[in-house]
Structure 1
Amino acid sequence: MERKLKMRVLIAKPGLGGHDRHAKKIAQGLKEQGFEVVFTGLRQTPSQIVDAAVVHEVDAVGLSLLDESQRDLAAQVCALLKSQGAMDVVLFGSGSIQEEDAPALLGAGLEAVYPAEASIEEMADFLRRRCAMTGTY
């Protein structure tokens, strides 16, 4: 596979949540950090998220989550990525997540979980380190 100029990240808002402010904040922040960002919009199903990830050949998928109750959606995204042969895609989440809920989300397949107040720089650093581990960058 040819090396891309920029890491490509898909930001998705799974489930039935009615606002996308946090997802847009992450998308804009990662753009400012030099990432290429694909934003899927509101109310995405796990299948829609994974289809977009495969079509756009992303290096990472970020899920904007309301809380730990969305762990089943995260687990479905993780399983679908694997079934599509996209095991190298980094899966992370951010949103209104309490510290005590992070283990359940990590157990669902997310590699990192960030509360809404986490810095974009922290997420960007994680993505750069993690993608470097796969040899993508």
Structure 2
Amino acid sequence: MKKTLNRPIRVLVAKVGLDGHDRGAKVIATSLRDAGMEVIYTGLRQTPEMVVNTAIQEDVDAIGISILSGAHMTVFPKVMDIMKQKQLNDVLVTGGGIIPEGDMRKLQEMGVGELFAPGTAMKDIVEYIENWVAEHRNF
């Protein structure tokens, strides 16, 4: 049985580092917005610190990081470390892009949520975020 919230889910969609390809992030942001979520898109070339600070300021339920540059094993752990330092421990970190399966597993072992490869159905991403938030941030 699906849990529902009495408020919109807030998601921060971020592009971290020098990765200049943002079409996928914009498609995700639009799709999440179409699904009824409030979406904050950071734009290109954000630092992990900027992403976490924005997540705190915007009181988001989830951070979605889009990465195509190959820097995922640097970016995701840095975001997770900053979140831990700032005691932001009830926000989902998810994302997608070009990330090998082995690296996806390593990142999930570090606390990153589900990671999505190109071609994943949008309904699967929406359902994952909705279910995670309903279970962990249902207030």
Q: TM-score, length-normalised on structure 2?
A: 0.88
| Matched position secondary structure for 2:11 | strand
Contact 1:68 1:102 in 2 (8 A): no
The alpha-carbon distance between structure 1 residues 129 and 6, as it changes in their structure 2 partners (threshold 3 A), is same
Q: Which has the higher contact order (CA 8 A, sep 6+)?
A: 2
Pairing of 1:125-136 with structure 2 (within 5 A): 125-136=127-138
Q: Which runs of 5+ in 1 are unaligned?
A: none
Pairing of 1:1-137 with structure 2 (within 5 A): 5-66=7-68, 69-136=71-138
Separation in 2, partners of 1:67, 1:114: 15
Contact 1:13 1:23 in 2 (8 A): yes
Amino acid at match of 1:79: D
User: RMSD of aligned C-alpha atoms?
Assistant: 1.7
* Number of residue pairs matched by the alignment: 135
**Could you tell me how far 1:105 is from its partner in structure 2?**
2.7
Separation in 2, partners of 1:121, 1:110: 20
Q: Which runs of 5+ in 2 are unaligned?
A: none
